[in-house]
Amino acid sequence: MPTNVVPIHGRRKADTTENPIKVLQGLVADDMNLVNELILDRMQSPVALIPELAGHLISSGGKRLRPMLTLASAQMIGYEGKRHIGLATAVEFIHTATLLHDDVVDESNMRRGKKTANLIWGNQPTVLVGDFLFSRAFELMVESDSLRVLKILSNTSAVITEGEVLQLTTANDLSTPEDKYLEVITAKTAVLFAAACEVAGVVSDQGREVEEALDSYGKYLGIAFQLVDDALDYSAVQATLGKEIGDDFREGKVTLPVILAFRRGSDEEKAFWKRTVERRRQEDGDLEKAIRLLGQHDTLNGTIDRARHYGAMAKDALAIFKDHPAKTALLDIVDFCIDRAY
């Protein structure tokens, strides 16, 4: 790490024994077992390549954060039925299908520390198995017997793809305004978080206020989550987690840390960003220089401060709900998503 990097300002909490993800996992463990069974059941097909390819990603140790949000939301509001199990599974399938297609689109080689499906089996079956999981997600949604759930999730799915196309068209544009960037991350990440929470409200039939509060919580959490992800891609913390840093830089993805550094930079620095990110002509040492510039202009902290703003909005959205261990866990998860930057 270069010595002139301004450190990300420390707000890390004192370590407690309880990791909020673990707390959340404990609270929803019974339901999550049902979700995991349903995932395995519904990714089956007489065509053996389908469960093989889908299973490669599904069993690769993702956190199952999105289905966990559905399950915890349902628990917080006292839902006692079983319809949230299928919906949590549908949400995870939509997410997995999106990842498969993303890896084809981005020509990625690694995901969650494993070779990507497109690298192992090629683009052809990866695109098709993504389509298969989308279809299975819709089958699960249909089984919920709720047209409102179907409206929410089918619209979510359309908005995600719009967001990804929008990202393609803005990908290399360093003058992307912040609101456009926000639009992209809302569409590609936050709307699925929002839907994951909202559908729990819909099946529990407690009215629009509850649904809207869950929708807001999920949306703002999703925005905060993606902002932190975009900061982490340039952060030494990411490296300590065993993940590679600089993926976004190498792919020429214009994320907020870079947008801010470009805007705040000198002419020489602007030329550097244009060469490396817009034209993607990168040399040895460029990533290190990029990280140094982000530090000089303090843009990782700028990005995380924004995440904190959205995190506060997410937490406020839950104010209408009574105290409940699931509510506490959902509140703590917001801080956890932000604090993983430290």
Name the site residues for a copy of itself (rule: CB under 8 A).
45-50, 101, 104-106, 123-125, 127-132, 134-136, 138-139, 141-142, 145, 147, 150-151, 154-155, 157-158, 160-162, 164-166, 168-169
Q: Which is nearer to a copy of itself, 5 or 150 (CB)?
A: 150
Write down the least CB distance from residue 265 to a copy of itself, Å: 29
In Å, how far are 159, 206, 265 from 290, measured between CA atoms? 32, 49, 11
Q: Which is nearer to a copy of itself, 132 or 217 (CB)?
A: 132
Least distance in angstroms from the C-beta of 297 to a copy of itself: 30
Give the nearest distance from C-beta 160 to a copy of itself in angstroms. Answer: 8
Q: Structure tokens of 20?
A: 């909020």
| Least distance (Å) between residue 119 CB and a copy of itself | 15
Shortest CB 82 distance to a copy of itself, Å = 18
User: Measured from the CB atom, is 117 or 304 closer to a copy of itself?
Assistant: 117
Nearer to a copy of itself, 136 or 327 (CB): 136
Nearest to 216 by CA among 206, 226, 208: 208
Which residue's CB is nearer to a copy of itself, number 193 or number 234?
193
Residue 172 CB, shortest distance to a copy of itself, in Å, is: 13
State which residue, 48 or 319, has the beta carbon closest to a copy of itself. 48
CB atoms within 10 A of CB 318: 20
Instruction: Using the minimum distance from each CB to a copy of itself, give the nearer residue, 10 or 46.
Output: 46
Least Å distance, CB 126 to a copy of itself, is 9
Closest by CA position to 91, among listed 20, 48, 35: 35
Nearer to a copy of itself, 100 or 277 (CB): 100
* Six token digits for residue 112: 């969650």
Q: Which is nearer to a copy of itself, 133 or 260 (CB)?
A: 133
Nearest to 79 by CA among 334, 328, 324: 324
| Least distance (Å) between residue 145 CB and a copy of itself | 6
Report, in Å, the least distance between residue 138 CB and a copy of itself.
4
